[in-house]
Structure 1
Amino acid sequence: MKSLYNRFLSFINTIQGKIAFYPTLFGIVGFGFAMLMLYLEKIGISAFVIEHVPQLVINNADTAKTLLSFLTGGIISIMVFSFSMVMVLLNQASSNFSPRVLPGLISNRNHQFVLGIYLATILYNTFTLVGINPQENNKYQLPGFSVLIGIILTVVCLAAFLYFIHSISQAIQVNNILDGIYKKAKTRLEYLLEKESDEAVSFPDTSSWTSYYSTQTGYYQNIAVANLISICKEEKLQMKILIIQGMFVLEGVPIIQVSQKIDEALVKKILSNFNFAKGEFVEDNYTLAFKQITEIGIKAMSPGINDPGTAISSIDYLTELFALRLKKNDKTIITSNNKSFIAITTTNFKELVYQVMVSYRTYCKHDIICIQKLFIMFKYLLLQKAQLPEYHDVLLAEAKLLFEDAQQSIQNKTDLRRIETLYQTLSNP
């Protein structure tokens, strides 16, 4: 039961990233509200409002019908324009920054809410229009109050449209994209640091354990930790997760190792607690933020864009994220009552730094400004307290590689002396 509940929550989290999710919900609400208002009109709500505040109610069928038709057509035009702007935003973000930032932009809830308000108002006005009988002369039979609500919702749509224009113009700015990615990754890292125990937890050697294989294909997003711990306690076993979060897993590859042989039914029960998807989100996997920010910085250095300022900004955000990552252990072991049950394979610090720096060394080694910024990043990180002492050795090794590449790519002697001076200061940070 817990497994089904967890899978349901994972499904909800996945579809929330779809651009049509919230507009669909708002549309259903708009339709339901229209049905409710039609029912209230039958029991005389418009008659009640006319008796007390007649100035607010339209009592002419032709006027009400024309007004609602005009308002609905206008909202449809605004909605089409808004969708067009979303497509332009996504196209620009993909071309100028990185296709990896698209899921984050698509899942922007504020934009989805605005589109949802449009859709809900269109449905409400349409069904209210259906309830108007132009041959009925009795003003008390007209849905005057419903028409008033439609006018108010249209005004709300206009306000939402103004907000949408402002929001979309902000969302396309690279600094806001970088800041959004950074904040999501920072939140995720801080959460993992809170959950991480300060005490060293041992875990047995798994080389002789039995391996079991994936039955699905997709990006490994997360696991239902509570369910897996319950299974380990019930079956008196330990397990190691072999795949790294965010990794694309193919069917038939080793996915877990278990301390004892288990039957097929238990294997299926364990694997049902793994969540796979066809996309990735920074909220689930902080290493994706390093990848996205790096790609934005490297793309900015391409000849077609030639924007060193964005590359510098990307290094600034990476510096902050690396400083946080220095506080985290490379090994993640899930415990309960001081007993270890699950070992999770994670991207170690050495690999993370290498994957980021190999891109900058390849595409930015000729640019003295970026090289200087990278050395400043290394100097700052070497001043930070690290969870493991070898983290600083990793930084020094990567700085050496950067220095060697820069020496081969830069010919100006003055620039080379400046770089050498920066490199030498790393040994005495």
Structure 2
Amino acid sequence: MDRIKNIFYKIRSKIAFYPSLISFGGLTLAFFMIYLEKIDISGYLMEVAPGLVINNTDTAKTLLSTLIGGLISLTVFSFSMVMILLNQASSNFSPRVLPGIISDQKHQVVLGLYISTILYNIFILVSIEPTDNSYQTPGFSVLIGIALTVLCLASFIYFIHHISQAIQVGTILTDIHEKTKSEIEYVLKEEKEKSSNFEDTENWEKNVINKTGYFYGVLKENLLKICVEHDIKIAINLFKGQFILDGTIGLLSEKQLSEKQEKEIMNALLFSQEELMGENYIYGFRQISEIGIKAMSPGINDPGTALNTIDYLTSLFILLMKKTECEYLNDAEGTNWARIKNVKFSEVLYNVMASYRLYCKHDITVMRKLMYMLRTLEANVVNSNHMADIRIEMEQLQIDAKSNVENNRDLDKLNSEFISWS
């Protein structure tokens, strides 16, 4: 079941997923209406409610042809808008925000509605047969086609509104922040329900990873079943997003693995040839920091966005400090069978700060904001090791500021309280 969920998640993130499903629904509706026309539903409605039926064949053909042509133009324009949105997001923010925009269900549903209505109208148009019997004209089906077209026009208005909101940096940052926050909170909730007791792995057997690609998780149910079935405890020293080369020692086992057991465990590890956003909360830190750094480039020169990204990062770092450095898989009795390595808080903080220090060291406002973030984290620290990591970053920030900011008054302001003037 875990593997099926993983496959479904990968398919669902594709831009063609919902359009394909909705288009199939349009085809199904078209064939259903053709069937109803064969049992003379239009003839019945002509007697009961003649105002709902178009009983002129030429009028029906003209209407359907016009609707099809108009909807094709609308679809092309909407697809062009999506491509412009993706190009602009990649240029102004970061290429890594594209998967989130592509997988936006609202865009996919609107495009799917266009295509399904086009297919519906085409098949209804094809079903019109030349005859002198006015009731042979699928009048009621044409009315349904008109109603679907009106729905498409309403969807187009919503599409324009939504896409104009989606391209705004505030919306993108909020979406990334909320998604990353929910992922960290989910992990924290799981940690509270599990024990962190695990054997010392110093003398465990080392096993080689025989795959190459980006590691993006495990099939938890499958891996737990393998461990319990073979009475093997394992430790995975890989973290999500890490690129693994064939031959890397990344798996420790309590005892020697047979060839079959090793193959089963390897099949439970997920690898990809490209970086996948998935449920890896670390990508949230990476995306937000890249947007902030890109905003400080000479071509964009938007320090206000950089300041906003630091606010979101502060919120996420406070949550990240509450996390442990490992994730555990346990059975119904609470016994931990597998341990999975997580990226350390110190590593995430260093990567974010190193990038900001390099590209923002000339801007005292951003540097003050970074110092304010570090002091906020210091006030919310939950682990003494985290305190040491934060103070190291404070020292490095001061060193870079003294080397790149020439105004002594600005340097004096570095450690003062930051007051937002936005």
TM-score for the superposition, normalised by structure 2: 0.95
1:200-349 equivalences in 2 (<5 Å): 201-336=196-331, 337-349=333-345
Equivalent position to 1:55, from 44, 51, 55: 51
Name whichever of 404-413 and 206-215 sits farther off: 206-215
| Residue aligning to 1:37 | 33
Offset from partner CA, 1:208-266 (integer Å, 9 cap, x none): 32233334333222212122122211111110112111222233323422111122222
Name whichever of 32-41 and 246-255 sits farther off: 246-255
| Residue aligning to 2:380 | 384
Q: Are residues 1:120 and 2:116 paired?
A: yes
> Quick check: 1:188–1:283 contact (8 Å CA) kept in 2?
no
Alignment partners' CA distance in 2, 1:161 and 1:313: 31
> Quick check: 2:194–2:330 contact (8 Å CA) kept in 1?
no
> Quick check: 2:368–2:415 contact (8 Å CA) kept in 1?
no
**Post-superposition offset of 1:44:** 1.5
Q: Secondary structure at the match of 1:257?
A: strand
Alignment partners' CA distance in 2, 1:52 and 1:353: 72
> Quick check: 2:42–2:139 contact (8 Å CA) kept in 1?
yes
Alignment partners' CA distance in 1, 2:223 and 2:343: 21
| Residue aligning to 2:173 | 178
**Post-superposition offset of 1:343:** 1.1
Equivalent position to 2:16, from 13, 20, 36: 20
Q: Secondary structure at the match of 1:275?
A: strand
Name whichever of 271-280 and 79-88 sits farther off: 271-280
Structure 1 unaligned runs (5+)? 424-429
**Post-superposition offset of 1:9:** 1.8
**Post-superposition offset of 1:281:** 4.8
**Post-superposition offset of 1:390:** 1.2
> Quick check: 1:94–1:101 contact (8 Å CA) kept in 2?
yes
Alignment partners' CA distance in 2, 1:389 and 1:48: 80
| Residue aligning to 1:426 | none
> Quick check: 1:181–1:282 contact (8 Å CA) kept in 2?
no
Would you identify which runs of 4 or more consecutive aligned residues in structure 1 move more than 6 Å?
Answer: none
Q: Are residues 1:197 and 2:192 paired?
A: yes
**Post-superposition offset of 1:67:** 0.2
Alignment partners' CA distance in 2, 1:90 and 1:420: 39
| Residue aligning to 1:79 | 75
Equivalent position to 1:148, from 143, 150, 156: 143
> Quick check: 2:216–2:278 contact (8 Å CA) kept in 1?
no
Alignment partners' CA distance in 2, 1:80 and 1:40: 32
Alignment partners' CA distance in 2, 1:421 and 1:91: 40
- C-alpha distance 89-77 of structure 1, shift in aligned 2 (>3 A): same
Alignment partners' CA distance in 2, 1:378 and 1:333: 30
Name whichever of 100-109 and 276-285 sits farther off: 276-285
Query: What's the C-alpha RMSD, in Å, of the aligned pairs?
Result: 1.7
> Quick check: 2:292–2:309 contact (8 Å CA) kept in 1?
yes
TM-score for the superposition, normalised by structure 1: 0.94
- C-alpha distance 199-100 of structure 1, shift in aligned 2 (>3 A): closer
Alignment partners' CA distance in 1, 2:321 and 2:360: 24
Q: Secondary structure at the match of 1:270?
A: helix
| Residue aligning to 1:414 | 409
Alignment partners' CA distance in 2, 1:213 and 1:131: 62
